[in-house]
Structure 1
């Protein structure tokens, strides 16, 4: 699996945020559409039904602030022995029938994406929802590259620009 912006990309799946385990909440993007996962939230929508995919309340930090936060979390975990779940955020899935808010956990290192990756991810979600981008491109990249892990920042940004068409 590899993290690229707000996306967790595997060899056969793409998630907004981290891949959910068990009954945890998540949002999977497939060739057929969008699927809300987890207890208390369910639903699936074909791409033709989706009007908008909009992330809400995403913790975005500069590289320096993100590293400071990661260092603080590491020290806190070492002292207390307790780890923390990555920060949660929501994705609003809007269709002609209404809007559903889906909870997800961030997959970004330190729980916070960089501003540029966040902004490009938002553009990509907009384009996926309006048909201007194709999830097949992310899935193809995942089949070929996700096994190698998360690429460096410059490559992540280049991938997001390519997929978002900017």
Structure 2
């Protein structure tokens, strides 16, 4: 499993945001279409009907966000040591982002968990949004792009690459 931009790629499966488990919400990109996963949003939006694919509410990495995460972790650690019954941040859900699918049937807002604890770099957000837009340009473009992302995921064994490599991959997948 690896994160590249806003995408989570696990053994050839491509998700926008984190890969969901159980009834948690998520969005998977398949050769057939955009698959909404989770309780209350299960659906398949076929690529032939998808006119636009965008994402909103994406946390962008910043120094203040990183400091906030470190501060929260430190406070939780102290609280857990002082009060062994305190649940801490482990019980809190990660942030959510909204994946918007515009299709012939209207606009659909899908929820997906954010995979990056301190947010995504601005460059990766921009490249990911451009890549999502590219997926709606036609069947051949979508199939080629998703196939490249899936193939990379199947061959990836060492986890999430560093920032420069993630950006390079996003640019490569855009063609």
Tell me, yes or no, whether TM beats 0.5: yes
Q: What's the offset of the Cα at 1:33?
A: 1.4
SS of equivalent to 1:31? coil
**Counterpart in the other structure of 1:103:** 111
Q: What's the offset of the Cα at 1:86?
A: 1.6
Q: What's the offset of the Cα at 1:70?
A: 2.7
CA contact (8 A) 1:17 1:26 kept: yes
Q: What's the offset of the Cα at 1:65?
A: 3.3
**Counterpart in the other structure of 1:162:** 172
Q: Which structure 1 residue ranges, 5 or more long, are not aligned?
A: none
Equivalent runs, 1:72-91 vs 2, <5 Å: 72-81=71-80, 82-83=88-89, 84-91=92-99
- Tell which deviates more after alignment, 16-25 or 81-90: 81-90
TM-score of the pair, normalised by structure 2: 0.86
**Counterpart in the other structure of 2:85:** none
Answer yes or no: is 1:48 the counterpart of 2:48.
Answer: yes
SS of equivalent to 1:107? coil
SS of equivalent to 1:104? strand
Query: Which of 138, 146, 149 is 1:135 aligned to?
Result: 146
Q: What's the offset of the Cα at 1:80?
A: 3.7
Q: What's the offset of the Cα at 1:71?
A: 1.1
Query: Which of 121, 144, 147 is 2:128 aligned to?
Result: 121
SS of equivalent to 1:100? strand
SS of equivalent to 2:94? coil
Q: Which structure 2 residue ranges, 5 or more long, are not aligned?
A: 81-87
Once superposed, what is the RMSD of the aligned Cα atoms? 1.5
How many corresponding residue pairs? 162
TM-score of the pair, normalised by structure 1: 0.91
SS of equivalent to 2:135? helix
Query: Which of 139, 148, 155 is 2:158 aligned to?
Result: 148
**Counterpart in the other structure of 2:83:** none
SS of equivalent to 1:154? helix
Aligned partners of 1:90, 1:29: CA distance in 2, in Å? 15
Write out the 4+ residue segments of structure 1 that deviate beyond 4 Å after TM superposition: none
